[in-house]
Amino acid sequence: MGLKKTRLISFKKLRAETLRWKFFFGSSFKSAFRWKRLNLKLSFVDDLLFRIASVFEAIVLVARLCFFYLCCGCHF
């Protein structure tokens, strides 16, 4: 009788720990690692700002290159 009771208590403890892990790794834990839906409006704005920044950077680089050749570059 004592052995059966010990096994039963052990089984209940094991079952409770398993349920705790199932709760921990349940749907809320899995949802953190799922792919998020792509927000198309944010992607469009991000692409637009990147293009504007790229054009501005290109203009600044060309202006600095021209300034260098006009002021410090080769003299004929």
Residues 56-67: tens digit of each pLDDT: 999 999 999 999
Sign of CA dihedral 46, 51, 57, 59: negative
What does pTM read for this prediction?
0.43
Angle subtended at Cα 28 by Cα 10 and Cα 19, rounded to the nearest 5 degrees: 10
Q: What confidence tier does 44 reach under pLDDT thresholds 50, 70, 90?
A: confident
Residues 22-37: tens digit of each pLDDT: 555 555 556 666 777 7
Domain residues of the chain, as ranges?
A: 37-76
Higher pLDDT, 10 or 59: 59
